[in-house]
Amino acid sequence: MQSIWFTRPNPDYINQKLNIGTIDQHLGINISEVGNDFIRGTMPAHSRTFQPYGIVHGGANVVLAESLGSIAGSHVVDQNQYRCVGQDVSATHLRPVSAGLVTGIAKPVHLGRRSQVWQIKLSDDSDRLTCSVRLILAIIEIKL
């Protein structure tokens, strides 16, 4: 399979440099794997990601999904010329998670010149689908 990456994402750089001081660091989001057409990451189910009922907050799911899609999307384009920014996100929460890790896998549905569409599937430690997310990114040209 041919790679989708303009610049292949480096999980170590993303986790140890890029995400420092961001919501991803605060929530414990970690990029764990990069394939030719996907990026995988995790987020712990714990007090920083819970809502009052002791399950992962839907907003935390959306942060994980949008982070994975945005990181992936930004590596599909030349980052010296373009920025990828979230334009629309839609999440369907299917199953609660109260312990362990939430794992997300982002794969492209459409990689266009002006927009990208990503499908992000979140699952629990038993590999059960917990949330399905569609993310649309706008591709913005950097004005020099």
Cite the active site residues: 66
User: 134: left (phi > 0), else alpha (psi -120 to 50), else beta?
Assistant: beta
Please give the C-alpha separations between residue 74 and each of 55, 70, 78, 144, in angstroms, as whole numbers: 30, 6, 8, 18
Q: Can you spell out the DSSP letters for 38-52? A: -EEEEEE-STTTB-T
Q: Facing residues of 138 across strands? A: 85, 115
